[in-house]
Structures are given as C-alpha cells and as structure tokens.
Structure 1
C-alpha cells in the first residue's frame, strides 16, 4: 500500500443513535451520529414508526389524496364520448297524419 494516502482508521469509533443507543465499530471517523439503528428500526423491532424529515410523509399523503380526487374527474375524451353518445341516442320523432298513410296505401 502507498503511504500517506489512506484515511486514519479508528477501531473503536463510537456510534450514537438519536434513540439513545450507542455502540462501537471500526471506522474512518472517530464519532458517528445516526438517525436510525437496529434498536429503533421498524424492520428489527416489529413496530411501525414514521420518521418524517422535512414533512415528506405529509406531502406524500397530500399527493395521494389529490390523485384520488383527480381519478374521480372525467377527462376531455370521456366527456366528448358521452356527448356523442347522447347525440346518437337522441331519437328523431316524425308525426305522421293518418291521411298520409291512406295516400301511401293507395299508390
């Protein structure tokens, strides 16, 4: 290995989590502060926990509500198709006089 190009290695680096758990590992930093560890991670604990940094969870929930509202709306194509179907469905009524029928039967 080349000399003086590698970072210093600390075999007893202290890791501290925001939940209060701390342990030691080998690292290139003497002290690490982390947001989540195996003592508080939902996968390891089996408990659900929302970690909301910068309102990301709230923003996602608001987007999902907006998408549900947009799904209920009809698009332009659907509106045009409904209008065209309504026009086709409209029946033409012609009033025929009994005298007109009698004239057609004579011919």
Structure 2
C-alpha cells in the first residue's frame, strides 16, 4: 500500500438508538463524539438510523404483499375472455 493516501482504520462504535443496540467494529468513518465502551476504552461513536436490531427484515416484522391476488385481479380486469 502507498503511504499517506489511506484513511485511518480504527475501532468505532455504531449505535442504533431506536433499538438500544450498539456494536464495536473497525471502520474509517470519522466522528467528533465519543463513548466509553464496555472494555473501558473510549471510542468514536456513529449514530445510525437502521441496524439489524431495528430493520423489519431482520426482526421479522416485514410485511409481505399478496402478489398472487394482484395478478389475478389484473387478469380478471384486463385479460382475454
């Protein structure tokens, strides 16, 4: 790798406040805010709108559409008799 052209890769806490969920990972994202993590170290924190703890697909609250009913209704309305 070339020296001096890559952003700093360091531990960062991502926090989903709507779900009360946070996780520590490594990233190049920057943040002025910090938080003290469970291990006692202080890390930059980034607040996110959606995470796996609040996304409907991962929580099982996803709504499924009745596509078969829509197709049948379309065929009834516009299909050849």
Aligned equivalents of 2:26, 2:13: Cα separation in 1? 9
Alpha-carbon deviation of 1:25?
1.1
Using the alignment, how far apart are the partners of 1:31 and 1:5 within structure 2? 24
Residue 49 of structure 2 is matched in structure 1 by: 35
Give TM-score scaled by structure 1 length.
0.40
Report the TM-score, using the length of structure 2 for normalisation.
0.52
Q: Per-residue displacement from partner, 1:61-89 (whole Å, max 9, x unpaired)?
A: xxxxxxxxxxxxxxxxxxxxxxxxxxxxx
Aligned to 1:8, what secondary structure does the other structure show? coil
* C-alpha separation in 1, matches of 2:62 and 2:17: 17
CA distance in 1, matches of 2:54, 2:23: 14
Please identify which structure carries the higher helix content: 1
Higher relative contact order (CA 8 A, sep 6+): 2
- Count of aligned positions: 48
1:7 aligns with 2:7: yes
Residue of structure 1 equivalent to 2:17: 18
Higher strand share: 2
Which blocks of at least 5 consecutive residues in structure 2 are unaligned?
30-43, 64-81
